[in-house]
Structures are given as C-alpha cells and as structure tokens.
Amino acid sequence: MTSRFITDKDFEDHKALQRRLMSLPESDQFDEINTLLDRDSVIGLKLANAVLKNKKHFELLLERGLEKANASEIELWLKYLLPRIGFRRVIAILSNKLSQQPQQVAKASYWLPKFLPKGNEQAARLLKNLLNQEKQMLGEEYKAVNPSGQVYKLIFRIKSTGEFAVFGGYQLGSKGSKIIVEILNSSDLYPTGGVRQVSPGDIEILDPQPYDD
C-alpha cells in the first residue's frame, strides 16, 4: 500500500510526520497509520497514540495486531492500544474471538497479566474468566480446533535450554514475571510430566503445530 500523503522524507522526521498527520481528517489519519504500520509497527503505533481519537480506530488496530503480529510482537501492540481501548473492552474483544480464533486470543492473553490494572478486582475477575474459558477451549493439553477440523496445540521453546513446552498457567499477581510450563518430549511433542517456572523472556511461542493423531 502506498501513502497518498506521507513521503519518505516525512518518515525520516517523526515530528514532521506527526504534524502532517494531524493536518488530515481522522479517517485519512487512520488510513495513513495503517500504511505506516506496514513499514514500522513501533512508529505506526506511537503515531496512532498521538493523533487518533476515535476508540473504534484503536479497536480496529487491535484486530490487525491480533491477526498480523506474532506472539512476541503482540505485547507491543497491547502496550500502545490497551490504554486507549480499556482493559475490560480488550477482554470482551478477546472473549468474542475465542471460539473462532483461539490462537490469536492465546498469544494476547499471555501478556494481559502484565497490563492488569492494580487493585481492580473486576478486571482481575474478567481476566480469570477469560483464562478459564481459554483453558477449556484449548483442552487439557492446550489443543485447539480450527474450522476445518484440524487439531492444533500451542508450543513454546525455552530459549536457554532448547526444550519444548506447553503453557501450564500463571498467577494473576505475578504481573507476567513467571509462567508455568509443561515440558514436552522433543521427538514426539508429548508431555514428559516435567513442570517448571520460566521467565516470559526465556520463551519463544512457536506457530501452532498440528497433532498427528
């Protein structure tokens, strides 16, 4: 997609770019930001925060992030979009997507404890309900079924050891500092029975892998 308004020179000067965007109607601002996101998601998200006002535009950007960003990148999208949308509304959006797009929800919900408003019991309950629904949807071994009937599971790789694992839970009060994982056999990706706590920074969430059975 090529911008109708933003030049390469503008892109090099972020302040000038922001001024240029602010001279446009918001519908055009939104179109331009979507174009910018194709080039640099950080700059695009920062400028979205700076110039957009319509909450619906931020919800549409979240939809884009859930579809396009990987399991690590989605943290950045949540960082910039969640404060503008609101924690409870994000939970509602994810809940509505859970039955059809469980992998999209799982990669976002993994980071949500980090953004949980301190002391907000209602938000904590909503998050807990979402995580319980997600666990039921993905099943005992965190399986998910897409519309074609193919069964998938979400696989992590522990960077420090190279081991494979599946998500096993976390405490709401941990603010995402530790998660529980169940170690998988590297040859067939079935649980070995080993469970441990790891730092989120020490895991890479791989693309969902289909079961052979």
Mean pLDDT of 177-205: 74
Instruction: Kindly give, in sequence order, each residue whose CB lies less than 8 Å from that of residue 148, ignoring residues fewer than 6 positions away.
Output: none
Under a CB-based contact definition with an 8 Å cutoff, are residues 58 and 96 in contact?
A: no
> What percent of the chain is predicted at pLDDT more than 70?
74
144-185 residue pLDDT tens: 444 444 444 567 888 899 888 877 665 445 555 677 777 887
pLDDT the model gives residue 138: 57
107: nearest Cα among 153, 133, 69: 69
- 171-175 contacts at long range (C-beta below 8 A, 24 or more positions apart): 171/113, 172/113, 172/116, 172/124, 172/127, 172/128, 174/113, 175/113, 175/114, 175/116
pLDDT the model gives residue 87: 96
pLDDT the model gives residue 141: 39
Under a CB-based contact definition with an 8 Å cutoff, are residues 112 and 172 in contact?
A: no
pLDDT the model gives residue 211: 47
195: nearest Cα among 209, 180, 185, 205: 180
pLDDT the model gives residue 144: 40
Mean pLDDT of 10-30: 83
Q: How far apart are CA 27 and CA 124, in angstroms?
A: 34
| Most confident of the ranges 74-78, 161-165, 171-175, 190-194 | 74-78
Q: How far apart are CA 138 and CA 142, in angstroms?
A: 4
102-154 residue pLDDT tens: 778 888 888 888 898 888 899 989 988 888 887 776 553 344 444 444 444 56
pLDDT the model gives residue 152: 45
pLDDT at 62 over 50: yes
Q: How far apart are CA 61 and CA 141, in angstroms?
A: 31
pLDDT the model gives residue 72: 80
Orientation of helix 26-39 relative to helix 41-51, angle to 10°: 160
Output DSSP code: residue 117: P
pLDDT the model gives residue 100: 80
Residue 171: what are its φ and ψ, rounded to 5°?
-95, 135
